[in-house]
Amino acid sequence: MNTLLIHNDNLPQEVMDIFGDKKLKFDIQSSHVIEQDFTFDKYASAELGNVLKGQKFDAIYVVINLNKNDYLEFTGLSIANHIRLSHEWNHSHTPIVILSPYSIENVSRIANNYEVLYTPGIFFESEFTTETIEKIYEFIKGHFQVSNFNLLTEDDYQKYLKEVRIDPPGHYDGQHSIENELTLYHWSKSIGINNIEIENEIGPSLYFKFINQTNPVKTFSTQSDDKRSREQSFIQNLDNSVHDNKTEKGRILLIDDQWQRGWEIFYRKFPISIELEFEKIPIIKGDSYKKIQNLTEEKIKSFKPHVILLDLRLIDTDFNVGVQIQNVAGFKLLKYIHLHFPAIQIIITTASTKASTYAATMNYAFSYVQKTISIEAEKIFNKLKDDIETGVLLSSSLNDYFIQVKKIENNISSFQKETIAQIKHNLSISSELLLRAGKTNKTIFRSYSYLQLFHVLENFVNDPSVYKIENQSYFVINKNFKYLTVSGVKREQEEIGNSDIQYKRAVKPEKKKTGSKRGIDENFNLKNNYHTLNDKIIEILLFRHGMNDVNEKKWRNKKWYELNKLRNDFAHGKLANDIDLDSIQAIIEMIEYLTNENELTSEDLTEYDLSEKSYEDKLTALKKKFK
Amino acid sequence: MQKIVLIENRKDRLGRLLEVHSSSRDLKNKLFNFKNLDIVDRENEFNSDDWDDYFKKFDQEDLIEFLEYDILLIHKSKISLEGHKNLDQFCRNNCKSIVYFSGGLTGITFINDGYPCLSMNSSIFYSFRLINFLEGNSKNPSNIMEIAYGKKWQLSNLLKLKYLIHQLIFSSELNIELETEIEDLIPIIEDSLRVQIPVDFETENDRNKLMIFLDELIRQKMIST
């Protein structure tokens, strides 16, 4: 008989003898099959490889129990799967006979990996006699084309792959989740990197072999035309400031406890169309969250990354069973970076498949890339590539915006508590909307973000240290100066179409209302007693900042009049396109200017306001005017 | 809950257990926090001389400190012949269970000669089954066989018996080793399952009866576990 017997000296001697020297003994003592460190798989692969490679057996007989200390293991079934899944041994299509004293029904009920018993080319025999062994061999020879090396047809083999179930072994060796390792191996191989370390470590595992058969590695091809055109349109949608930054290299920071394992090499070699600089946080086993946060903060300050690739599980306790996402180091770090460095676009890279993890992280992250081999690598790569490139562009374009936000938050510290809270709240909404515009590529969010900044202006003018309304009198405040800019008196005679109060204003509008200077407007039209934000801002610019004309200052080459008109046009549906990033940048810079104490004038402008002046005051003012 | 003491002078093996079986990374905390488990020299302060001194207590029959424990887990190699005799007597007199482990031991043996005594190779002892056993034991008393065979140790023994008898039936030659193994296993199964196994191989009818009996026991045990 040209057959191999796999045993542990646990068959009647006469049965053993008919196999001659074509026998392989598995002397298994401990319960390594059910361990998760692949000890058994490594041992089995080495032994089987030695015996099967270069041979051409017609059939392989395997005793179902090879571990004499654990009869629940059914090691023979694992051996059968190893043979089926290891093409390099040239016996993946060879008929296998399982020798078992138990009925197939009982084995099916007890064994975890019983499915192999019901696949083509597997025979199950309970009689341990030479006659039976020989009879089965004759049957196999008669029914399979022994002359042909591939004894099972390809259809049969596909049926086997469909029927059999090989579960992942969970987390082996602590942090190295098998899914993570497999993904790293597959992804690396897809772009031409052979991760020998992983291959040696998990290569002999049944799960690895199974995945390689059911989900073979495909080489990553370049992106589709459709994808390329989408990227082009995204770039065109961004404003000039982005184009200015196009020559800058994208800076990517990797935060992954498995960086040494191959993720760093993978990301460094990951094909991308923009030039990248790449750094990592050198996390080592046993690091605390605090240490990682400190390292991250230092690195962000020195390296100034545009995009951070962040794994969620970074420290030992993240791997505890039942750990809540809020307590996972990567999640805490995500919130920390988002809060302190909002311009950085964070891409979550994780093996987690939990919807709750996705939902929780996407409140703060730019994107979420799942480390998995269950989705075609090419699809994920295209997304990752797109996310990195978009993230870099977005980050470099938003950086100036967030610098202004930080400055404003510092500027407003002397405002009353309520104002501070409102401004911060509206700034954060505006920021989120802006980030969302980048994430979703929906420009409407940019317009919403712009509108939100006008709420910030409303909050600002409502602070009593900036503007005050007392009865029918409106005051601009500049530290110790309180300028009466609008005052109302009861009309002596009622006029049709006008309110019963006649207003006077210390601002003279220019024709076409596109500019304003200090002066007296004796018949100021304050519609329905409502003093608009635009009017208050004009008074603030003239009296708090001492401008002679509100048009003398521009932000990003845009006057206040234009910025306000843009807001009104959008609000009234008159705009054909959404508001561009440059206008958002202009308005945020203007808010920074308005809230900045250093920009306030120290000049006394009382002479220009509407307050009652003494004779001396009037004389001084006249002298000054004609000087 | 039964109180357990672990006496292991080779801390590298304990470390390996923690390293390999770290499907949950809090394993070390877990192991060190089992209320039912005391680990001698948990802080790892003993040197080899300290251990030599420690193991002398077995020779000197100075075993009072073990009275508070129900189960003793001991590295066998460090205990002298005299120490073994003393421990044997101590366990018999005080109804203690003992588990010996050592790199030099082959397979698993279980004897209940006045007290349950389980011996096994260290590689079998240091497995996640030990952790499961300690975890289970911290709630309800568990059988020490679980350390070797897991929670389904009774089913495992039944499958083993069926296998061995099957092998014996189909063997035309005498196999003393096999027969001894069967003879040792039967009382353990009978004791744990409270059954009488009809061991008779004379006629084919007897053999069939025995196999049907064992299949039925396996079936029942499968359902109950």
Q: Which of A116, A147, A163 is the last residue of a domain?
A: A163
Other C-beta atoms lying within 10 Å of the C-beta of residue B50: 12
Gap between the Cα atoms of B37 and A419, Å rounded = 60
* Those residues with Cβ within 8 angstroms of residue A363's Cβ, 6 or more apart along the chain or in another chain: none
DSSP state of A171: B
> Which tokens hold the place of B190?
């009978």
How high is the pLDDT of residue A273? 82
Residue B107 has pLDDT above 80, yes or no: no
Contact yes or no for B222 and A127 at CB 8 A:
no
How high is the pLDDT of residue A461? 96
Q: Is B106 on the interface with A (CB under 8 A)?
A: yes
Q: What is the pLDDT of residues A341-361, one digit of tens each?
A: 999 999 999 888 788 889 899
Q: Which of A379, A401, A423 is the last residue of a domain?
A: A401
> Which tokens hold the place of A542?
């003239």
Domain co-membership, A252 together with A364 = yes
Domain co-membership, B37 together with B133 = yes
Rg (CA), chain A: 38
How high is the pLDDT of residue A471? 85
Return the amino acid letter for A357.
Answer: T
Q: Is residue A506 part of a domain?
A: yes
For chain B, report the end-to-end CA distance as a whole number of angstroms.
21
* Nearest one of A94, A148, A147, A146 to A123, comparing CA atoms: A94
CATH assignment of the domain containing A395? 3.40.50.2300
Residue B219 has pLDDT above 50, yes or no: yes
Q: Is residue A205 part of a domain?
A: no
How high is the pLDDT of residue A600? 96
Contact yes or no for B24 and A321 at CB 8 A:
yes
* Nearest one of A430, A386, A421 to A272, comparing CA atoms: A386
Structural domain boundaries, residue A85: 3-163
Gap between the Cα atoms of A262 and A595, Å rounded = 49
Q: Which residue of chain A is at minimal alpha-carbon distance from B128?
A: A35
CATH assignment of the domain containing B131? 3.40.50
Domain co-membership, A159 together with A243 = no
* Nearest one of A406, A428, A434, A409 to A584, comparing CA atoms: A434
**ipTM of the predicted structure?**
0.79
Q: What is the pLDDT of residues B172-209, one digit of tens each?
A: 888 888 888 898 899 889 988 889 988 877 788 888 88
Domain co-membership, A478 together with A390 = no
Domain co-membership, B14 together with B98 = yes
Instruction: Report the sign of the C-alpha dihedral through residues A303, A307, A313, A318, in that order.
Output: positive
- Is-contact B105 B154, C-beta < 8 A? no
> Which tokens hold the place of A597?
């104490």
Q: Is residue A241 part of a domain?
A: yes
Q: Which residue of chain B is at minimal alpha-carbon distance from A173?
A: B20
Q: Is B57 on the interface with A (CB under 8 A)?
A: no
Mean pLDDT of chain B: 85
Q: Which of B121, B149, B177 is the last residue of a domain?
A: B149
Instruction: Note the maximum CA span of chain A.
Output: 132
Bridging pattern class, strands A501-509 and A481-490 = antiparallel
Domain co-membership, B88 together with B142 = yes
Domain co-membership, A236 together with A383 = yes
Q: Which of B149, B181, B200 is the last residue of a domain?
A: B149
Best of B159, B171, B223 to disrupt the A interface (most A CBs within 10 Å) is: B159
Domain co-membership, B94 together with B29 = yes
B123, B156, B173: residue with CB nearest A30? B123
Domain co-membership, A11 together with A159 = yes
Domain co-membership, A120 together with A9 = yes
Domain co-membership, A154 together with A251 = no
Domain co-membership, A15 together with A116 = yes
Q: Is residue A444 part of a domain?
A: no
- Is-contact A346 A365, C-beta < 8 A? yes
How high is the pLDDT of residue A306? 95
Domain co-membership, B125 together with B76 = yes
* Those residues with Cβ within 8 angstroms of residue B140's Cβ, 6 or more apart along the chain or in another chain: B1
Bridging pattern class, strands B97-102 and B71-75 = parallel
Domain co-membership, A335 together with A477 = no
> Which tokens hold the place of A177?
């989740």
Domain co-membership, B58 together with B142 = yes
Residue found by looking up tokens 């992954």 in the block: A256
How high is the pLDDT of residue A148? 58
Which parts of chain A sit beneath pLDDT 70? 29-37, 145-150, 169-176, 221-248, 321, 493-499, 511-513, 625, 627
Q: What is the pLDDT of residues B129-160, one digit of tens each?
A: 888 888 888 888 889 999 888 888 899 999 99
Q: What is the pLDDT of residues B3-19, one digit of tens each?
A: 999 998 887 776 666 65
Domain co-membership, B43 together with B144 = yes
The pTM assigned to this predicted structure is 0.68
Domain co-membership, B175 together with B189 = yes
How high is the pLDDT of residue A33? 44
* Chains A & B: contacts with CB separation below 8 Å: 103
- Is-contact A238 A396, C-beta < 8 A? no
Domain co-membership, B141 together with B166 = no
Edge-to-edge order in the sheet of strand A307-310: A276-280, A250-255, A307-310, A345-350, A367-370
For chain A, report the end-to-end CA distance as a whole number of angstroms.
123
Report how many domains make up chain A: 3
Secondary structure of residue A73 in the 3-state scheme: coil
Domain co-membership, B75 together with B175 = no
Looking at the DSSP assignment, which residues form a beta bridge with residue A329? Answer: none
Domain co-membership, A367 together with A505 = no
Domain co-membership, B132 together with B209 = no
Residue found by looking up tokens 């998990």 in the block: A202
Gap between the Cα atoms of B74 and B101, Å rounded = 6
Domain co-membership, A149 together with A257 = no
How high is the pLDDT of residue A215? 84
Q: Which of A381, A401, A421 is the last residue of a domain?
A: A401
Gap between the Cα atoms of A230 and A228, Å rounded = 5
Report how many domains make up chain B: 2
Gap between the Cα atoms of B58 and B86, Å rounded = 7
Structural domain boundaries, residue B105: 4-149
Domain co-membership, A361 together with A489 = no
Report chain A residues whose CB lies below 8 A from the CB of B156: 70-72
Domain co-membership, B132 together with B192 = no
Contact yes or no for B173 and A12 at CB 8 A:
yes
